[in-house]
Chains A and B, each alone.
Chain A
Amino acid sequence: MAQTQAAIETTHHSNHSHYFVPQPSLYPFILSGGMFLLALGFILQMNKFSPGGWIMLAGTGVILTVVVRWFGRIIHESQSGSYREWEDKSFRYGMIWFILSEVAFFAAFFGALFYVRNISVPDLLTMLPRHDFTLYPEYKDLVWPASGGGPKGIAFTPMGAWGIPAINTALLLSSGATITWAHWALLKGNRAQLNLGLFLTIALGVTFLGFQGYEYYHAYTELGLTMGAGVYGATFFMLTGFHGFHVTLGTIMLIVVYGRCLKGHFTAERHFAFEGVAWYWHFVDVVWLGLFIMVYWL
């Protein structure tokens, strides 16, 4: 099998070639501590206990510091040549499985959308015929998305697909193209094109987020479309919200990679960081397509 081959090669380059096992590190422990503070603070905050906000702040601070330092260390190791094909392969596998877990996370929310659209809302609408008795005499013969407000839900105007969402689709799709273009450049060692491609990708990502923000503002102020607007509002904001959050992360990662490219990191053979982020970006891209079709369009 392929991966064994890698192992075999490394064992044969020299009978003393080791898999890189990093030195002991305190970062993981501190990071966990930071996450604990963040969670604790958030819980207290939501339940209106005063110190909550400050604890959250502290947690966030710790997390950010550690993440920066930790990735800094990784970049250093990478530059000082601790990673070779063998380690590189581990990172690739790791990234793939991480992205798959993200897919599963979004699946939960798409599942919820499917369920409310095809099961719970129809059930509520057809209660009378099915039980010749109903709890909601006033709630009947509506169709999705109008029915998405629920029997006691508040009135709202659903989000149309062909305005901003369509533009955003175009933006993300082209950003997928630009990053691939940049990758080609990296492979044939064309630095200028690489940097340009990355820059464009980031720009497109940021613009997307801008539009998304405006869309939310519009929804809340003019359409009366809020998280509280029945299951339509709930699924709409959770799906688009988490997607937006992932785009933000992706953009940040792109910016880091961009910085590294400007510094001349990465070679045509060895550029896991770049590729990992690219994969992530494509994943975010695909999720958006799902959103556009399931949430906005149909």
Chain B
Amino acid sequence: MKTTHRFVRHRPPRALPAILAALAALVLPATALADYSWNFPPPVTPIARDTLNIHNEFMLIITGIFVVVFAIMTYSMIKHRKSLGHQPAKFTGPTGRLQWIWALVPFAILLFIDFVVMGIPAFHAVIEMEDTKTKADMVLKVTGMQWKWQYEYPESGIKFISNMSTPRDQIANKEAKGENYLLEVDNEVVLPVDKKVRVLITATDVIHTWWVPQFGVKRDAVPGFLREIWVKIEKPGVYRGQCAELCGKDHGFMPVVVRAVPEPEYAAWVEKKKAEQEAATAGSDKTWSKDELLTKGKDVYEKQCAVCHQPDGKGMPPAFPALSGSKIVLGALLSPEGKLIKDSHVDRVLNGKDGTAMQSFKGTLNDVELAAVITYERNALGNSKGDLIQPAQIKALR
């Protein structure tokens, strides 16, 4: 689609053409504009290209039907009016062979359009889309959770969380909005170009939907089940999408950002990530000072917890309880013999609470982050329990 390149993703279309288009839209069906800037963003995978072509073809077809059918209607409205003294006919149905043919032709046309012109390409597209396994080069596991994505590379053991990085002040109109407003994250997913990536999708709490428009794929992340799609990105670049299934309060704020890079660059990135994770887990064996834990804990809290419990820890009761002065937080840390106490602060953070937005962080945070954030919650946000927990202790609890 050459024309679609006119679609400049990061700069919004100027107001004037937009308004003109909308006015045009009043007289034209939406579809008449389909080939211009307001179509799908440029496709970068085989599936996206298919989808776009199918879409364009269908839009032309239905525009055609629309124009034909309503041209006839309009003609009648103009010609057969009382004001022109037109005498009403009396027929109530097809009479005679010719009229029957007239009546059945559009029917036949539609039949043909539905099941041949539209049906056949659709069939092939579906088959291709669902064939995730043949010649797959690698696997990416995506886990949706309120309200962030976790990405996992089983082959190379990489695993990280990706949060929206747009500052809350921009959303609250307190500061100017950046160009990727709401479509930017702290950790982008990095994928190699020209490789068939099998994407396994699931969720931990409610249904989310993983969607990158330029990939032409969209699949629900269903808690407790696995779903599969595949992407084969054909050109390097950064591709942005959003969670597409209402998943609660911050559904609008869990973007998907994929950076597609050439093979070698990808390999380098993998090594770097691995190293980082080594470092992080290594940290869990050394004993940490309270201040270290508090500083680390603060930024973990702001990334992971502040969305619901609020930066000041006051929460949004009843849905999201306050941590400041919370009984659970100020309860005992561990049992005397260092075991986990049911429904204690540590238990909540590690294992979450079923049926609520409070998820299990055991799988998503490492020992250091867990120890840090727990310590922080007990000694900040207006709490001053005084005690602290070491990463090593968390490790022991796993």
Contacts and interface: CB of A to CB of B under 8 A. Distances in A.
> A and B bound?
yes
20 contacts: A123-B225, A124-B224, A124-B225, A127-B225, A127-B226, A130-B226, A131-B200, A131-B226, A131-B228, A133-B139, A133-B141, A133-B154, A133-B200, A133-B226, A134-B226, A135-B202, A135-B224, A135-B225, A135-B226, A151-B224
Nearest to A130: B226
Interface in A89-120: none
Contacts of B200: 131, 133
A206 B46 CA distance: 66
B321 to A, nearest CB: 15
Interface string A117-155: 000000110010011011100000000000000010000
Interface of B: 139, 141, 154, 200, 202, 224-226, 228
* Residues of A in contact with B, size category: under 10
Interface of A: 123-124, 127, 130-131, 133-135, 151
A116 B225 CA distance: 13
A131 B226 CA distance: 8
Q: Which of the listed residues A123, A130, A133, A134 has the most CB atoms from chain B within 10 Å of its own CB?
A: A133
Nearest to A133: B200
Contacts of A131: 200, 226, 228
Contacts of A123: 225
A80 to B, nearest CB: 48
Nearest to B202: A135
Nearest to B227: A131
Contacts of B202: 135
Nearest to A150: B224
Binding site secondary structure of chain A: helix
Nearest to B224: A135
A76 B68 CA distance: 63
Contacts of B154: 133
B359 to A, nearest CB: 15
Contacts of A124: 224-225
A135 B139 CA distance: 16
Contacts of A135: 202, 224-226
Nearest to B198: A131
Given A124-B225, A133-B226, A134-B226, 8 more contacts: A124-B224, A127-B225, A127-B226, A130-B226, A133-B139, A135-B224, A135-B225, A135-B226
Nearest to A131: B226
A49 to B, nearest CB: 11
Contacts of A130: 226
A124 to B, nearest CB: 8
Contacts of A133: 139, 141, 154, 200, 226
A135 B221 CA distance: 14
B106 to A, nearest CB: 34
A282 to B, nearest CB: 41
Nearest to B318: A47
A133 B198 CA distance: 12
Closest 5 CB pairs of A and B: A131-B226, A127-B226, A133-B200, A131-B200, A131-B228
A151 B225 CA distance: 11
A133 B133 CA distance: 13
Nearest to B132: A131
Contacts of B225: 123-124, 127, 135
A123 B202 CA distance: 14
A133 B224 CA distance: 13
Nearest to A123: B225
A152 to B, nearest CB: 9
B137 to A, nearest CB: 15
Contacts of B224: 124, 135, 151
A228 to B, nearest CB: 12
B207 to A, nearest CB: 14
Contacts of B141: 133
B108 to A, nearest CB: 35
Q: Which of the listed residues B154, B200, B226, B228 has the most CB atoms from chain A within 10 Å of its own CB?
A: B226
A223 to B, nearest CB: 24
A88 B50 CA distance: 62
A131 B154 CA distance: 13
A133 B136 CA distance: 15
Contacts of B226: 127, 130-131, 133-135
A134 B226 CA distance: 8
A84 to B, nearest CB: 38
B194 to A, nearest CB: 23
Nearest to A120: B225
A151 B226 CA distance: 14
A196 to B, nearest CB: 53
A50 B226 CA distance: 42
B227 to A, nearest CB: 9
A131 B139 CA distance: 11
B131 to A, nearest CB: 14
Contacts of A151: 224
B112 to A, nearest CB: 35
B133 to A, nearest CB: 9
A134 B202 CA distance: 11
A133 B226 CA distance: 9
